[in-house]
Amino acid sequence: MGQGHLTEMKMLWPAKKIGRRFVNPVLTPVGGWSTIFKVLPLYLNNREEKVPRKPLGPFRTDVSVYAVAPKSGLRVTWMGHSTVLLEIDGVRVLIDPVWDERASPMQWAGPKRFFAAPVRLEDLPVIDVVLVSHDHYDHLGEATIRKLAGLESMRGAQWVTSLGVGAVLRQYGVDAARIDELNWTESVMVADGALEITAVPSRHFSGRGMFDRFETLWSAFVLKGKEHKVYFGADSGWWEGFAEIGATYGPFDLTMLEIGAFHELWASIHLGPEGAARAFAALGGKGLMMPIHWGLFDLALHAWRQPMEVMLEITGKRGIRLLAPEPGCPTEVVAGVEVRSDWWR
pLDDT (tens digit per residue) in 51-76: 999 999 999 999 999 999 999 999 99
**What number is the average pLDDT over the span 289-295?**
98
pLDDT of 43: 63
**What number is the average pLDDT over the span 118-142?**
98
**What number is the average pLDDT over the span 193-197?**
98
Rounded Cα gap, residues 182 and 219, in angstroms: 9
**What number is the average pLDDT over the span 275-297?**
98
pLDDT of 34: 57
Report percent pLDDT > 70 for the chain: 93
Residue 9 has pLDDT above 80, yes or no: no
**What number is the average pLDDT over the span 77-84?**
98
Residue 208 has pLDDT above 80, yes or no: yes
Residue 31 has pLDDT above 70, yes or no: no
Residue with the bigger pLDDT between 48 and 341: it is 341
Q: Assign 273 to helix, strand or coil.
A: helix
The pLDDT-based confidence of 47 (bands split at 50, 70, 90) is confident
Domain ranges of the chain: 72-340
**What number is the average pLDDT over the span 233-240?**
97
What is the chain's mean pLDDT, rounded? 93
Residue 1 has pLDDT above 50, yes or no: no
pLDDT of 39: 63
pLDDT of 265: 81
Alpha-carbon radius of gyration of the chain? 19
Rounded Cα gap, residues 7 and 166, in angstroms: 31
- Calculate the CA dihedral of residues 169, 174, 179, 182 and round it to 10 degrees: -10
pTM, two decimals, is 0.94
pLDDT of 5: 33
Record: fold of 72-340 = Metallo-beta-lactamase; Chain A (3.60.15)
Rounded Cα gap, residues 328 and 124, in angstroms: 11
Residue with the bigger pLDDT between 338 and 8: it is 338
Residues whose CB is less than 8 angstroms from the CB of residue 307 and which lie 6 or more positions away in sequence, other chains included:
259, 260, 262, 272, 273, 291, 294, 295
pLDDT of 2: 33
Angle between helix 241-249 and 272-282 (nearest 10) = 40
Residue 298 has pLDDT above 70, yes or no: yes
Residue 311 has pLDDT above 80, yes or no: yes
pLDDT of 267: 86
pLDDT of 287: 98
How many Cα atoms within 13 Å fall on the side-chain side of residue 165? 31
Residues whose CB is less than 8 angstroms from the CB of residue 161 and which lie 6 or more positions away in sequence, other chains included:
131, 132, 133, 169, 179, 180, 181, 182
How many Cα atoms within 13 Å fall on the side-chain side of residue 187? 11
Residue 328 has pLDDT above 80, yes or no: yes
Angle between helix 306-318 and 272-282 (nearest 10) = 40
pLDDT of 4: 33
Ranges of H-type helices in 291-342: 306-318
Whether 311 and 259 have beta carbons less than 8 Å apart is answered as: yes
Residue 333 has pLDDT above 60, yes or no: yes
Judged by average pLDDT, the poorest of 41-50, 118-127, 244-253 is 41-50
The pLDDT-based confidence of 171 (bands split at 50, 70, 90) is very high
Ranges of H-type helices in the chain: 3-9, 33-44, 142-150, 166-171, 241-249, 272-282, 306-318
**What number is the average pLDDT over the span 154-172?**
97
